[in-house]
Amino acid sequence: MPAEKEKRIGVFICHCGKNIAGGLNIRDLVESSKQVKGVSFVAENKFSCSEDGQQDIQKAIHEQKLDRVVVAACSPSLHLMTFQRCGEKAGIEPQFVDLVDIRKWTMHGSPQKTNPEEAFEQSKSLIELAVKRMRLKRLIPMAEIKAEHSILVIGGGVAGLEAGLDLADKGYNVYIVERLPTIGGKMALLYKVFPTNDCAPCILAPKTAYANIHPHITLLTNSEVKSVSGHVGNFNVNILQNPRYVDLDKCTGCGECVEKCPIKVKDEVFSAGLGERKAIYIPYDQSIPKKAVIDAENCLYFQKGVCRLCEKQCPTDAINFDQKANSVEIKVGAIIAATGFDEYDPSPKSEYGYGRYSNVITQFQLARLLDIDGPTNGQLLRPSDGKEPKRIVMIQCVGSRDEKANPYCSNICCMYALKHAQIIKEMVLPKAEIFICFIDMRTVGKGFEEYYRRTRELGVLFIRARPSEIVQNTETKNLSMKVDDPEIGRLLKLDADLVVLSCATVPSSGTQELSQILGVKLDGYGFFKEMHPKLRPVETNVRGIYICGSAQGPKDIPDSIVQAKAAASCADSELRKSKIKIPQSLVRTSQLKKGDK
């Protein structure tokens, strides 16, 4: 057997103030670490990550001639880079510096916190394992590759557009893939946005219009990402462009085909099920691209082989019933997932009668009813009889902060309920009575508390309670419920013409499938999981793939914009060096199947 060259390994045990030192005996851990094969030096630091702590490590590397380092402190996702840079400065290859997390067993608030004896034993064996790993570790071969100067953004909502525009302005070629026939996402359908009550499509339009004409942006609407392979700097992406049956180059968006189409169907997407559209349709006036699209499932020609009225009517011969799905292959250096959210379907909350009682709707549906370009042209009319409601009850936290549905707070529901109450009081039905039944009003944000106060000043009434079961009068379709109001200490019977449920935001459909395609992990609620919830909120477990907006968790528009810019900045930081270093195994993954030298 060839003789093994002796490694000199230093172990540095961090107190992390009292976070570690308060939960196990550091002296004993120092002594036990000295006994591990290969360990030449052991020291303890009050805070290893501090300037003093790092200087002590560097001093020991020089004085003790260490060539490998193990730091026993906190999570590698938090500080491994810190200690690798520290070691590199003292002449140690970063790969030969390791960090193990012993704090998880000692720190108050950690789910794995245990008693001092158990913490000691766990830490001892973790250090032994890490020392052995470092002692035997060879250098991971790295390869330098040329990075593609292009980015894929998945999702054409406000977050995706912001990230895409930022990067396109920096000179990257950006592909924005949107599943629907238009970009704009949920924001385009919100009518107004808090806390300014600006017209949502109006303030979104500069971004959608710019994305449409930007020389560095390619919009792929009606399209889905089907597969992704490769690695940071060089991802190969397969995109399926679903057929519109309309030639994008020829269609002028005049709408004559839509007028002639004889088939009307419920518009589930752009009118939230409260309006109708034709089988050939343009999603809404500010659609980008403003081009028609045929819904083959409801088109007479596709279903029964008759009609083709749209084709006869089109002045530019844009209709193409033979159009097929098109597979597009692109190469990109980085990917940003901005797939947004869906509104929680409240049907399982049977006590509220959604789906059974026509006058129980969701806030997203209310937004569509209030929109002057929506299915009722901005008139607030009850779905059951088309009459104006005199009393409206909004119920907060439907499917949010609820152990039986989604335990998390959905972040935006308090504010959009206030927004809709304001719009109704100020612009639509000033005489309507509005009650908001809430658990807590969460109005954290710039100008939000003032917005809440303004809503109260408009006469909107707030009841801190969740209503009991809603009962419908079968003749009038009016609704009634009982609410235990703790402020006045008695049970109120509340009658309403319209009930609006402030539903949770949940991951958009397809998130699970996309996570498998990208190899990006999801959190416990199904949103994309960030690398670190505080310090690396837009990075993921896959280098070169970033997340932003509600794809990462419920958030409002300003926060989505901030995250989009952060994701764009991360992608730029990675790709602006035209060559990047990655583990060689990533470059030749296929060759590894049978073993590698």
Partner 1 sequence: MEEVYVEEFMSPGCVGCPAVKKMLEELKGEFGDQLTVEEVDITVDTTRASQYGVMSVPAIAINGILKFIDVPKKEDLRDALLEEINREE
Which of 51, 63, 138, 488 touches partner 1 (CB under 8 A)?
138
Q: How far is the CB of 62 from partner 1 (least distance, A)?
A: 23
Q: Which is nearer to partner 1, 396 or 540 (CB)?
A: 540
| Per-residue interface string for the shown chain with partner 1, residues 419-458, x marking contact by CB under 8 A | ----------------------------------------
- Which structure tokens are listed for 70? 């193990």
d(CA 211, CA 140): 41
Handedness of CA 186, 187, 188, 191 (dihedral sign): positive
The encoded tokens of residue 65 equal 């001639």
Residue 583 sits in the site that holds partner 1 (CB under 8 A): yes
Distance CA 548, CA 439 (A): 29
Q: Which of these, 449, 484, 454, lies nearest to 469 by C-alpha position?
A: 484
> Which of 355, 521, 558, 577 touches partner 1 (CB under 8 A)?
521
In 232-337 the beta strands, taken as DSSP E runs, fall at 234-241, 264-267, 275-278, 280-281, 293-294, 326-332, 334-337
d(CA 340, CA 137): 42
**Interface pick for partner 1 out of 250, 331, 482, 543 (rule CB under 8 A):** 543
Between CA 347 and CA 357 the distance in angstroms is 11
595 in contact with partner 1 (CB under 8 A): yes
Q: Is 535 in the site for partner 1 (CB under 8 A)?
A: no
CB atoms within 10 A of CB 109: 6
* Contacting range for partner 1; rule: CB under 8 A; set: 131-139, 273-281, 449-457, 551-559: 131-139
Q: b vs e for 556-583, b when ≥16 Cβ sit within 10 Å of the residue's Cβ?
A: bbebbbbbbbbbbbbbbebbeeeebebe
Minimum gap (Å) between residue 516 Cβ and partner 1 = 10
Is 80 among the residues that bind partner 1 (CB under 8 A)? Answer: yes
Least Å distance, CB 68 to partner 1, is 11
- Is 133 an interacting residue with respect to partner 1 (CB under 8 A)? yes
CB 139 to partner 1: min, Å: 7
* Residue 85 touches partner 1, criterion: CB under 8 A: no
Q: How many residues belong to the site for partner 1 (CB under 8 A)?
A: 35
Q: How far is CA 75 from the centre of its chain?
A: 24
Q: How far is the CB of 79 from partner 1 (least distance, A)?
A: 10
* Spatial separation of the C-alpha atoms in residues 300 and 293, rounded to whole Å: 14
Report d(CA 288, CA 185) in Å as an integer: 11
Q: How is the chain split among helix, strand and coil, in percent rounded to 5?
A: 30, 25, 45
**Among the listed residues 17, 141, 315, 348, the single contact to partner 1 using CB under 8 A:** 141
User: Would you count residue 594 as binding partner 1 (CB under 8 A)?
Assistant: yes
Amino acid at 379: Q
Burial class (CB in 10 A: 0-12, 13-18, 19+), 430: exposed
Q: Which of residues 90-109 bind partner 1 (CB under 8 A)?
A: 95
Per CB under 8 A, 386 contacts partner 1: no
| Smallest distance from partner 1 to CB 23, Å | 20
Which of 124, 192, 231, 442 contacts partner 1 by CB under 8 A? 231
Cβ nearer to partner 1, comparing 100 with 397? 100
Pick the closest to residue 518 from 142, 155, 169 (CA basis).
Answer: 155
Site for partner 1 in 1-60 (CB under 8 A): 1-5
Contact between 72 and partner 1 by CB under 8 A: the answer reads: no
Tokens of 574: 């990675």
- Does position 122 interact with partner 1 (CB under 8 A)? The reply is no
Q: Which of 35, 50, 65, 129 binds partner 1 (CB under 8 A)?
A: 129
| Coil/strand/helix, residue 168 | helix
The residue (of 75 and 509) whose beta carbon lies closer to partner 1 is 75
Sequence-distant (≥ 6) Cβ neighbours of residue 464 within 8 angstroms: 438, 439, 440, 485, 486, 487
Q: Does 569 bind partner 1 (CB under 8 A)?
A: no
Site membership for partner 1, residue 585 (CB under 8 A)? yes
What is the distance between the terminal CA atoms of the chain, rounded to a whole angstrom?
Answer: 19
Q: Least distance from C-beta 517 to partner 1, angstroms?
A: 12
Q: To the nearest whole angstrom, how small is the minimum distance from the Cβ of residue 122 to partner 1?
A: 14
541 binds partner 1 (CB under 8 A): yes
Hey, which bits of 411-526 come out as E strands? 433-437, 461-463, 471-472, 479-485, 490-496, 498-503, 505-507
- Which amino acid would we find at residue 183? I
Q: Which of 542, 556, 572, 576 binds partner 1 (CB under 8 A)?
A: 542
- The distance of closest approach from Cβ of residue 137 to partner 1 in the complex, given in angstroms and rounded to an integer, is 4
Cβ distance to partner 1 smaller for residue 80 or 499: 80
Using CB under 8 A, list all residues that contact partner 1. 1-5, 76-77, 80, 95, 129, 132-133, 136-141, 231, 519, 521, 531, 541-543, 582-583, 585-586, 589, 592-596
